[in-house]
Amino acid sequence: MTITITAFERSPDRGRGLARDMRVRWALEEAGQHYEVRLVSFEALKQPAHLALQPFGQIPTFEEGDLTLFESGAIVLHIAERHGGLLPRDANGRARAIAWMFAALNTVEPPIFDHSLARILERDEPWYEHRLQSLEKSIRKRLDSLSRHLGDADWLDGAFSAGDLLMVSVLLRLKSAKIFDDYPSLAAYVARGEARPAYQRAFAAQLAVFQAASAG
């Protein structure tokens, strides 16, 4: 059965791999699964045809046979459960890897995402400086915990897992932020993720979409 995912026709990150289809592409590459991509315009996101697949009008979606899924975390977990390479085989290790998936999305991502958003949307607001400081404080709290846990290990809990895939994806948004200079072990962790051949194939594929749209 063919796997089809959706991605932005023109990603607002200009091909930097920060849109959430990147996580799903990366997971599919780690799992060695071929996939097709349907590009969606910003206008089409709000149309009934897309909302039937994704109630919140976002990307990515995942379709395979009669299954449609949304939420990048759920899609990555679905891929990880069906194919090798993204979850440990022992039950406890598997449960802990899933805990890191939720930690990436529910504990680490929110302040990082808000920080990116504030830098775009709240630049002219009276609270901008104060808000940035407050968000940076929240981010540092998370990064302190994460770097203490990681120590000098390569990955969060044994071998590379879907938990690392999502955590690296979430941290990538900080790559150009000054704050990351204070966390060299996390910067190295992200670089280990980016160095994986599956990441590189996924990154090249999403960049090609942006380049084609820009040339068109």
How large is the angle between the packed helices 128-150 and 184-194, nearest 10 degrees? 80
Residues 6+ apart with CB under 8 A from 129: none
Q: How many residues bind a copy of itself (CB under 8 A)?
A: 45
User: Nearest approach, Cβ of 213 to a copy of itself (angstroms)?
Assistant: 26
User: Rule CB under 8 A: which of 86-125 touch a copy of itself?
Assistant: 91-92, 95-96, 98-99, 101-103, 105-107, 109-110, 113-114, 122, 125
Closest CB to a copy of itself among residues 85, 110: 110
Provide the residue count of the chain: 216
Quick one: 133 or 211, whose CB is closer to a copy of itself? 133
The answer to the question of residue 77 lying near a copy of itself (CB under 8 A) is yes
Residues 6+ apart with CB under 8 A from 38: 4, 5, 6, 7
Q: How far apart are CA 155 and CA 174, in angstroms?
A: 18
Segment 158 to 197, residues that bind a copy of itself, using CB under 8 A = none
Position among 34, 36, 56, 181 found at the interface with a copy of itself (CB under 8 A)? 56
* Choices 32-40, 52-60, 171-179, 181-189; region in contact with a copy of itself by CB under 8 A: 52-60
Name 40's bridge partners.
Answer: 8
Looking at the DSSP bridge assignments, the partners of residue 200 are none
In this structure, are residues 30 and 198 in contact, taking their beta carbons and an 8 Å threshold?
Answer: yes
Separation of alpha carbons 67 and 12, rounded Å = 28
Residues that bind a copy of itself (CB under 8 A): 51, 55-58, 66-75, 77-78, 91-92, 95-96, 98-99, 101-103, 105-107, 109-110, 113-114, 122, 125-127, 130-131, 134, 142, 145-146, 148-149
